[in-house]
Chains A and B, each alone.
Chain A
């Protein structure tokens, strides 16, 4: 898509942006939203040590996308693939919860099982729908395919995610950092965890189109991992990760247009680049700070 736009226009990104804003507006708005929401949710799942869940959900929601395509092909009405992705990812949380009841001491087992199940279903649905036209789009993402309807869904569900986090912020913090304290203080930890997973499921389904199934979890994990290295508080860590995320997304869109490369891949690579820069800076700063102590210890 981006390659098509850039070759078709044959002008620089900023010229294209001013001349044909309608081509870029949805992509930019969607990008800015994901840059805020992804690290917020990412910080929660990292603290809860649930990083693998994101991958599981994204693979299972891909099955939803293709089930939507299959239904649309079979019947005479159009079903939004994003909507079906939301339904499937919520279904995924229910299956994972159900399975973890059987493997109480190996709770993480439910994740690879469900991930394989989702991938297998995707294969079947792709074959049955006899359509693999948008396969690359959903695997690696294409921000320029975000329609106005998609944007409306993204905006309204993002608002719901924000409301959820705002209402339960203190309970989420207590649960994430000290589950025992959360239980003692009367927080229904299982119910809250369930809601967090559903919010995650909705988020992943929404943004599959932008970053793609294979890369979506990285957008939640990498900026937060980078900011964890320099953040001094939870709030500060979230803010830094949002800045990293936004820089990676906006720069990614720009480079994607300029060099006709996949947007999702560029965004993730840029996030990793920012993380490496932060790691180097941290190493240098800490190294300098440690030197006098090391000398004293010797």
Chain B
């Protein structure tokens, strides 16, 4: 899925958070959004996901203005852990079944579950899962939407080494499947590992968009001050 952001600015009331952001991603490319707390990383993601209202002709998905899209198809979001309601008992199976567009558990459903090795804790209450297992559940839920664009919000937060290795394997696999990815992360090195572009949001609403090369990071588009 192609993503194009065109002069996007956003403010919460009088407080400006994003100012004049521009970038575009082609299908299969990965963008890492990095920056300190409060620089607008999550706001940018919420704008792309239409969770916040943006002006017309500022965000395009496959060249369609998101304001004209009534229902998202093939777009998935992997949230940070706190966004889910964990206190009421619910199993992995119940979460995944409720999210899957079809009532029947067809081949795609089963193969996605198998490929992410969810079977081991498929009938477990999510309260009993480790951070890494939970992350896998949310990634599986995202993949069940048959996404062409996946947005990860801080996927490495609270992960141990083993879970990080699992996440690396999953992201490599997704990259090989030509899925466009946007990864919001504090971990600059993690972003560099997968991203084709790095969008660095700074204080005072400035940003830097860099392309990621195997040898170094070469600034290509613009460096706004």
- Asked if A and B bind, the verdict is yes
Interface set of A (CB-CB < 8 Å, partner B): 43, 46-47, 169-171, 173-174, 176-178, 180-181, 183-186, 228, 231-237
* Contact of A233 with B91 at beta-carbon distance under 8 Å, contacts A178-B83, A184-B77 already known: yes
**Bound CA–CA A234/B85 (angstroms):** 12
**Bound CA–CA A61/B83 (angstroms):** 34
Contact yes or no, B94 A235, CB < 8 A: yes
Name A169's closest neighbour in chain B (CB-CB).
B98
Could you say which residues of chain B place their CB within 8 Å of the CB of A47?
85, 88
Interface string of B70-96 (1 = CB under 8 A from A): 111001110100011101111101110
Interface set of B (CB-CB < 8 Å, partner A): 49-51, 70-72, 75-77, 79, 83-85, 87-91, 93-95, 97-99, 103, 123, 125, 141, 145
Name B93's closest neighbour in chain A (CB-CB).
A233
* Contact of A234 with B94 at beta-carbon distance under 8 Å, contacts A47-B88, A181-B99, A183-B51 already known: yes
* Contact of A176 with B85 at beta-carbon distance under 8 Å, contacts A183-B51, A184-B49, A233-B91 already known: yes
- A–B Cβ pairs within 8 angstroms, 11 of them: A47-B88, A173-B94, A174-B98, A177-B84, A180-B51, A180-B79, A186-B70, A228-B87, A233-B89, A234-B88, A234-B94
Contact yes or no, B72 A178, CB < 8 A: no
With both chains docked as a complex, state the minimum distance between the C-beta of B116 and any C-beta of chain A, in angstroms: 17
With both chains docked as a complex, state the minimum distance between the C-beta of A228 and any C-beta of chain B, in angstroms: 6
**Bound CA–CA A174/B144 (angstroms):** 14
B83, B87, B94, B145: the one within 8 Å of A185 (CB):
B145
A171, A178, A236: the one within 8 Å of B79 (CB):
A178
Which has the most chain A C-beta neighbours within 10 Å: B49, B77, B94, B98?
B98
Contact yes or no, B51 A232, CB < 8 A: no
* Contact of A236 with B89 at beta-carbon distance under 8 Å, contacts A178-B83, A180-B77 already known: yes
Contact yes or no, A181 B85, CB < 8 A: no
Could you say which residues of chain A place their CB within 8 Å of the CB of B94?
173, 233-235
- What 15 new A-B contacts, CB under 8 Å, besides A170-B99, A178-B79? A171-B98, A173-B90, A176-B85, A177-B84, A177-B85, A177-B88, A181-B77, A184-B51, A184-B75, A231-B89, A233-B90, A234-B88, A234-B90, A234-B94, A237-B88
Could you say which residues of chain A place their CB within 8 Å of the CB of B79?
178, 180-181
* Contact of A177 with B95 at beta-carbon distance under 8 Å, contacts A47-B85, A47-B88, A185-B145 already known: yes
Could you say which residues of chain B place their CB within 8 Å of the CB of A237?
88-89
Contact yes or no, B125 A186, CB < 8 A: no
Which has the most chain B C-beta neighbours within 10 Å: A176, A180, A235?
A180
**Bound CA–CA A236/B90 (angstroms):** 9
* Contact of A234 with B51 at beta-carbon distance under 8 Å, contacts A180-B79, A181-B77, A181-B79 already known: no
Contact yes or no, A46 B72, CB < 8 A: no
With both chains docked as a complex, state the minimum distance between the C-beta of B52 and any C-beta of chain A, in angstroms: 11
* Contact of A232 with B91 at beta-carbon distance under 8 Å, contacts A180-B51, A181-B77 already known: yes
Could you say which residues of chain B place their CB within 8 Å of the CB of A181?
77, 79, 99, 141
**Bound CA–CA A171/B97 (angstroms):** 11
Could you say which residues of chain B place their CB within 8 Å of the CB of A174?
98-99
Could you say which residues of chain A place their CB within 8 Å of the CB of B72?
184-186
With both chains docked as a complex, state the minimum distance between the C-beta of B98 and any C-beta of chain A, in angstroms: 4
Could you say which residues of chain B place their CB within 8 Å of the CB of A228?
87-89
* Contact of A170 with B77 at beta-carbon distance under 8 Å, contacts A228-B89, A236-B89 already known: no
